[in-house]
Structure 1
Amino acid sequence: MSTIKQNTSWGNLRQKVYEEIKADIITCRLKPGEPLSENQFLERFQVSKTPIREALTSLQQDHLVEYIPNRGFMVSPISVRDVQEIFDAREFYEVALFRLALKRITAADIEKLEGYSRVEFDLNDPEAITLVLQTNLDFHLLIAKMAGNSRLYWHYARLLDEAQRLIYLDFKSSNILPMWHSSHHGIVDALRDHDEAAGIAAIEDTLELAKRRILTAE
């Protein structure tokens, strides 16, 4: 049980419920297509129904939860079309953001990105996958921030929220850390060298390979 302290402010209460359910969806502890009842979360969080409903509504806006009339909420299933659309959208945003970041990149930015791309993980640690997901998210959002377009950043961040489940499934299905490091190094090198073609190629190749792995995974 994950009881939330009763003296938590209303906004923080709702956010904590949202973040915990979201984490369970991303890491497939709550599986695609699984029904979600308010009662299961009432027992788990020991809170009223209102923050649970608000959290589920926010997750619906993130495309992580669906509402079925007369049945209630369920974890959004993942279809082949979902995978294709998410990866197509990622390619669109990441190429655009890379091009914009290329015009604004600083030595300090490169150093931060290199730090993320050098992080090592102990895959025997059950918490490693959470660290992998967060580091990957931080890496890509930093590039998006460098692009200097707040609207592109907002839409891309929302897309990555939805994409996190696919990234998790990709990491769970195979040992892709060497490819992950290679991809990030390739993007950083392209930013450092102001090599647009190399950066776009690294982005497109990485996303295409990840999409194929997910679509062919058993």
Structure 2
Amino acid sequence: MASDTGRDAVKVPGGARGDGAAIRVYDELRREIISFERAPGSVLSRATLEKQYAVSQTPIREALQMLDQDGLVQVFPQSRTVVSRIDVQQLNETHFLRVAVEVEVVWRLAASPREDVVARARAILQMQKALMNDTDQPELFQDLDRSFHQTLFDAVGVGTIQKMLARRLGHLLRCQKLDLPSQGKMAMIVADHEAILNAIASGDQTAAAEAVRRHLSGTINRVDALRAAHPDFFTDGKTWPVLTWAETGSEE
């Protein structure tokens, strides 16, 4: 299944690829942030992370730098590192980019429908159908969702673009995590995926594009409601003031 971490695209500042320890810490912290095991605004102590993952300062620093690039943490030098709130501005910008790219993907697929691609995507869809009433496995449902979209990207030879996009989807994935338990949300996703595949299989480019736009806008259209329900989780792009170590009492 496709990973939401975008591991293949991970690079630390300066162009060097992160080493195995840094990638491991990055993957785990990203998963915990997206699942809200580490809530927005919570402080990440480097000393504590070093003990938790049994690694030195360097992998922790590189992992936090990568998460900072993803927009999932804010690193205040000589002060603290905190889990970012869901940035509504970044969320809208990422959504704009994602829609533009995925519309082009399905447009190309519908122009020359391939039975093998549709069959692979339908197999994933069937697994989602089996889970759409199971609220105890939202992570597995989301994994299948990412696999569905990755299958379409791979089919037109732009799978790497999906992995690059994944690095910017952290805010959206957290919104989806909040929205997924909503009544009928999983069934709506399944219905959207089915509409996308039916349009591709029939060669209807316009219907495929419209289905993707509708599908990708579901959570975005509920951001105001999600924000009202979880006001402490969101921001309009403003950052916390930079405090000194003495003021925060936190350790880096």
SS for the counterpart of 1:33 is: coil
Question: Structure 2 CA distance, aligned partners of 1:20 and 1:207?
Answer: 26
Name the residue aligned to 1:123. 134
Q: Distance in 1 between matches of 2:65 and 2:224?
A: 29
Give the counterpart of 2:193 among 170, 184, 196: 184
Structure 1 residue 187: Cα displacement? 0.8
Flag structure 1 segments of 5+ consecutive residues without an equivalent: 1-9
Q: Which has the higher helix share?
A: 1
The Cα RMSD (Å) is 2.2
Q: Displacement of 1:179 after TM fit? A: 0.1
Gaps of 5+ in 2: 1-17, 230-252
Q: 1:99 to 1:152 in 2, by over 3 A?
A: farther
Which residue matches 2:90?
82
SS in 1 for 2:19: helix
Partner of 1:67, secondary structure, is: strand
Shift of 1:46: 1.9
Q: Does 1:204 align with 2:226?
A: no
1:215: how far off? Answer: 2.3
Report the counterpart of residue 138 of structure 1 in structure 2.
147
Q: CA deviation at 1:178?
A: 0.7
Q: 1:173 to 1:72 in 2, by over 3 A?
A: farther
Supply the distance in 2 between the matched residues of 1:17 and 1:132 (Cα, whole angstroms): 24
Alignment of 1:58-69 (within 5 A): 58-69=66-77
Between the aligned residues of both structures, percent identity stands at: 26
Q: Which moved more, 1:161-170 or 1:137-146?
A: 161-170
User: Deviation digits for residues 45-89 of structure 1, max 9, x if unmatched?
Assistant: 122221111111111222222222332322121133233223222
Instruction: Return the alpha-carbon distance in structure 1 between the equivalents of residues 74 and 109 of structure 2.
Output: 35
What amino acid maps onto 1:210 in structure 2? Answer: T
Number of the residue aligned with 2:241 = none
Query: Bigger relative contact order, structure 1 or 2, given CA contacts below 8 A and separation 6+?
Result: 2
Question: Contact 1:62–1:162 at 8 Å: present in 2 too?
Answer: no
TM-score by length of 2: 0.74
| Equivalent-residue separation in structure 1 for 2:175 and 2:187 (angstroms) | 18
The residue type paired with residue 16 of structure 1 is R
Name the CA shift for 1:186/1:81 in 2 (closer, same or farther; >3 Å): same
| Alignment-mate amino acid for residue 45 of structure 1 | Y
Match of 2:180 among 135, 160, 171: 171
Q: Give yes or no for contact 2:110–2:202 (8 Å, CA) kept in 1.
A: no
CA distance in structure 2 between the aligned counterparts of 1:151 and 1:123, rounded to whole angstroms = 31
Residues 1:197 and 1:59: Cα distance change in structure 2 (over 3 Å): same
Match of 1:57 among 55, 60, 65: 65
Matched, 1:94 2:102: yes
